[in-house]
Structure 1
Amino acid sequence: MRTSITIEVRPTEIDVMGHVNNAKYLEYMEWSREDWYNKMKLPIDVFTEMNVGTVTVNININYRKEARQGELLTIYTESIRKGKSSYVLKHEIRNENRELVAEADVTSVTIDLKLRKSVEVPSALAKAFS
């Protein structure tokens, strides 16, 4: 499933170059990822009840076009690949003209919260990849 959120670039997100600081794009993607989990009916408390946590282990991001203060950005998130204990969510950030601003593949691993070791992706999460 593909989900999206829309945000307005705030003054505190701008760097000395006058555009969005590169680290802010990761934050935007994190907000969109949280929204994706909620829309999948997998909020944090559901993971906690399963004794499962998710850990980001790799982010591959490409910056395509600058974004500036006041612009509206839409961040899209979708599931693209699942392994035994890992999975990948793809993010796209597009401006009001639908131009690609940034894109990233974010790899996460599911872990046992008590043992702090990787575990198989729970079936509730695996369904989002079928």
Structure 2
Amino acid sequence: MKTVIQIEVRPTEIDVMGHVNNAKYLEYMEWSREDWYNRAGLPFDLLSEQNVGTVTVNININYRKEARLGQKLTVSTEPIRKGRTSFVLKHEIVNEREELVADAEVISCTIDLKERKAVPLPDALAQCFA
């Protein structure tokens, strides 16, 4: 399942170069990831009840085109592959002209919240990659 959110670039997200600060793209992707979890029926509370959490272990991001103040951006998230305890979500950020602004693959791992160690993906999460 691919999900999409819309955002508008705010003044607090602009750096001295007059475009979106590189760290803000990670926030945009995090917002989109949270939306993906919720729409997949995997909100934080549900996973926590199962004593499972997800942690980001790697992000490979490509900055393709600058985004500027007031631009409306579309951020998409989709599952692309899974392992036993880890999974990869792909993000793309495009501007109003459908130009690719940034893209990334985010690798996350599922952990036991008490033991803080990797555990196999819960079935509900694994099924999102079918």
For the aligned pair, the TM-score class normalised by the smaller chain equals: over 0.9
Distance 2:50 2:65 in 1: 40
1:116 partner amino acid? R
Aligned to 2:106: 106
In the alignment, residue 121 of structure 1 is paired with which amino acid? Answer: L
What is the CA-CA distance between 1:106 and the residue it aligns to?
0.1
Structure 2 length as normaliser, TM-score?
A: 1.00
The answer for the alignment partner of 1:81 in structure 2 is 81
Identity across the alignment (%): 73
Matched residue, 1:10: 10
Runs of 4+ in 1 over 3 A off after TM superposition: none
Q: Counterpart of 2:41 in 1: which secondary structure?
A: coil
Q: Deviations over 1:15-53 (max 9, x none)?
A: 000000000000000000000000001000010111000
Letter in 2 for 1:113: L
Within 1, Cα distance between the matches of 2:104 and 2:83?
18
Q: Where do 5+ consecutive residues of structure 1 fail to align?
A: none
The equivalent of 2:117 in structure 1 is 117
Unaligned 5+ runs, structure 2 = none
What is the alpha-carbon root mean square deviation over aligned residues? 0.3
Q: Tell me the distance in 2 between the aligned counterparts of 1:58 and 1:48.
A: 22
Q: Measure the CA separation in 1 of the matches of 2:105 and 2:76.
A: 12
CA distance in 1, matches of 2:86, 2:11: 36
Q: How far did 1:123 drift?
A: 0.3
Equivalent residue of 1:19, what SS?
coil
Equivalent AA in structure 2 for residue 55 of structure 1:
V
Output the CA distance in 2 between the equivalents of 1:125 and 1:46: 11
TM (norm. structure 1) is 1.00
Aligned ranges 1:1-130 → 2 under 5 Å: 1-130=1-130
How far off its partner does 1:8 sit? Answer: 0.2
